[in-house]
């Protein structure tokens, strides 16, 4: 490459000197011009070389390790010494620990819709738990007491599963096993989504993005593994002040610690594979919880026990290893951050901010926002805004206690015992708060002095200005983010499914051009996927296809039924 540039310089210089001599320029002027010309070309070649390095920069491999239903306070890196988790402790020694990472919704499917799109669930229409039940299919009714079908909300224009952009830029994307996004996934999102997914299935040294989702620490495992071996003594666990200190509570806490040990072993296997393949050092690894812990007052609660999550990021070459970062980072930020780390500019529609990478946001967030609506068959509506110091929660239905009667949660021994003790008047004031109705219209907590959020400061005169400020911030966000929570769910469904069925994308059109077969989508923000007849994986269409290959194609968009399949046959 350099030899080619030098030849270019010499050829151009020779031609210029001859022209100048023939036109009668003096020797000193010719020499001065020659020197300036050489300098100009050398600088230009250096710039071209620099640009070449930038454009050919190796794209990083990125892995997400996702723990279901876990709060930070049970992990050694966040100060709990109850159980050793050597693989996660090793990861945090190589990475950065975040102390203000949060989920926008304290339950899995809405939170996952945020992670995969970079959007607030209340903007997407995925704020209720759950809208689309993948095991039931569109149209079925997953909750017998509600006349609500399983459906995919019609998301705002331009919203896509962000992994589509990775695939367009050469990434191999693999996910497993969760596809619970509160909407029906699109084919463009993953090269593979299954229990057997692995980056080793990619082609050659293709960059990859792989998600490993672990359900061993899910809420359901508290009762399903209740009789399994315990790796900690229940007598040695710390009981938070909002729980009664009983044998049943201690046992459930010990089950969760034991499940974390099982989680650590599974994560260790992935880390071992990365090291065996020689790619650990330069792979970016996210470890995080998909919302707060599996217990009552954790999962489905807007307190930090429900929205604060563990987050560790290991950067290439272990940059900033062993440090702590207190920035506010929400799930809406993960998608734009991954794209930015991959050198891809995040689309403008995303509400999150790229925290790292080539397109890092210039301004940091001052607040995070959180929502709580329907949980399974029970409706409620709360909104919250959080800073590093304060949390403000507003309830729109104070008649209901925070402890909604969610049938799924009622299977947990701890939950049943708390209900019984509350009814018998055996819980102290702090333990009874969560189960008491009516609940406050407004709650304000000082997270620094009251991390368990047990002392509501909303009525204190000295914090009146703080309360009004947070109230104002929340009201503005509700408007700016187009929060759909104020609308009854049936009204939204009627808008999105006017005839009771998902809208259908129209047929694709094709046009023969000099570049090949161009495929025209029926809707400008629809994605086109295609494959050859023998292929099993759909590819993302981004340029005209060769005229001499047969293929099938279809259009897809979140909230729509796919278009009919277009079949192109070579004549």
Question: What is the distance between the alpha carbons of residues 255 and 67, in angstroms, rounded to a whole number?
Answer: 15
Question: What is the distance between the alpha carbons of residues 369 and 355, in angstroms, rounded to a whole number?
Answer: 17
- Beta pairing partners, 378: 375
45 is catalytic: no
Question: What is the distance between the alpha carbons of residues 530 and 517, in angstroms, rounded to a whole number?
Answer: 12
Say which residues have a Cβ less than 8 Å from residue 321's Cβ, sequence separation at least 6.
93, 94, 95, 96, 314
Say which residues have a Cβ less than 8 Å from residue 479's Cβ, sequence separation at least 6.
none
Other beta carbons less than 10 A from residue 8's beta carbon: 13
Q: Where are the alpha helices (DSSP H) in 424-487?
A: 429-432, 464-480
Angle of CA points 176, 553, 563, to nearest 5°? 85
Helices (H) and strands (E) in the chain, counts: 14, 20
Q: What is the DSSP letter of 66?
A: E
Angle of CA points 191, 194, 196, to nearest 5°? 100
| Integer Rg of the chain from CA | 28
Q: Are 439 and 302 in contact (CB under 8 A)?
A: no
Q: Are 221 and 410 in contact (CB under 8 A)?
A: no
Q: Is 176 exposed, middle or buried (0-12, 13-18, 19+ CB in 10 A)?
A: middle
Q: Where are the alpha helices (DSSP H) in 240-350?
A: 247-276, 304-307, 334-341
Helix (H) or strand (E) holding 323: strand 323-325
Angle of CA points 271, 277, 282, to nearest 5°? 70
* Residues labelled as active-site residues: 108
């Amino acid at each position: 490459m350099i030899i080619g540039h030098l030849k270019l310089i010499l050829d151009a210089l020779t031609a210029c000197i001859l022209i100048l001599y023939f036109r009668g320029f003096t020797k000193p002027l010719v020499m001065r011009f020659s020197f300036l010309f050489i300098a100009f070309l050398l600088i230009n070649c250096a710039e071209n070389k620099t640009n070449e390095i930038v454009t050919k920069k190796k794209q990083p491999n990125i892995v997400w390790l996702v723990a279901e239903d876990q709060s930070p306070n049970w992990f050694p890196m966040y100060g709990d010494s109850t159980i050793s988790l050597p693989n996660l402790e090793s990861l945090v020694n190589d990475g950065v620990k975040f102390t203000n990472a949060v989920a926008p919704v304290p339950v899995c499917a809405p939170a996952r819709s945020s992670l995969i799109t970079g959007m607030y669930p209340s903007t997407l229409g995925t704020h209720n738990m759950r809208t689309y039940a993948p095991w039931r299919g569109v149209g079925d009714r997953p909750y017998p007491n509600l006349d609500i079908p399983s459906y995919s909300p019609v998301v705002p224009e331009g919203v896509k599963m962000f992994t589509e952009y990775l695939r367009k830029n050469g990434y191999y994307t693999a996910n497993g096993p969760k596809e619970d996004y509160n909407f029906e996934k699109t084919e463009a999102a993953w090269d593979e989504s299954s229990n057997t997914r692995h980056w080793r299935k990619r082609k050659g040294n293709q960059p990859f993005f792989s998600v490993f989702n672990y359900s061993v620490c899910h809420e359901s495992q508290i009762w399903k593994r209740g009789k399994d071996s315990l790796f900690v003594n229940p007598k040695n666990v710390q009981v938070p002040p909002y729980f009664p200190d009983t044998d049943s509570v201690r046992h459930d806490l010990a089950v969760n610690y034991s499940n974390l040990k099982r989680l650590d072993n599974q994560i260790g296997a992935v880390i071992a594979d990365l090291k065996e393949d020689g790619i650990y050092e330069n792979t970016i690894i996210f470890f995080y919880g998909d919302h707060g812990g599996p217990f009552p007052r954790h999962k489905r609660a807007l307190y930090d026990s429900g929205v604060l999550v563990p987050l560790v990021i290991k950067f290439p070459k272990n940059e900033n290893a062993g440090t702590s970062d207190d920035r506010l980072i929400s799930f809406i930020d993960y998608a734009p951050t991954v794209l930015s780390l991959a050198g891809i500019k995040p689309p403008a529609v995303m509400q999150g901010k790229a925290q790292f990478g080539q397109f890092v946001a210039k301004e940091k967030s001052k607040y995070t926002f959180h929502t709580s609506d329907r949980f399974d068959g029970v409706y409620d509506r709360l909104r919250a805004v959080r800073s590093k110091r304060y949390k403000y929660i507003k309830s729109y239905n104070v008649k209901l206690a925070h402890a909604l009667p969610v049938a799924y949660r009622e299977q947990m021994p701890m939950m049943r015992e708390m209900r019984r003790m509350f009814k018998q008047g055996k819980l102290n004031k702090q333990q009874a708060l969560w189960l008491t109705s009516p609940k406050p219209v407004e709650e304000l907590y000082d997270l620094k002095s009251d991390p368990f959020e047990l002392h509501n400061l909303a009525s204190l005169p000295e914090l009146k200005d703080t309360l009004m400020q947070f109230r104002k911030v929340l009201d503005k966000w509700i408007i700016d983010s187009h929060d759909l929570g104020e609308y009854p769910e049936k009204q939204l469904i009627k808008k999105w499914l006017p005839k009771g069925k998902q809208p259908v994308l129209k047929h694709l059109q094709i046009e023969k051009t000099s570049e090949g077969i161009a495929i025209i989508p029926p809707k400008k923000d629809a994605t086109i996927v295609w494959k050859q007849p023998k292929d099993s994986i759909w590819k993302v269409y981004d340029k005209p296809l060769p005229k001499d290959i047969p293929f099938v194609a279809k259009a897809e968009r979140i909230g729509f039924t796919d278009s009919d399949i277009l079949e192109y046959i070579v004549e």
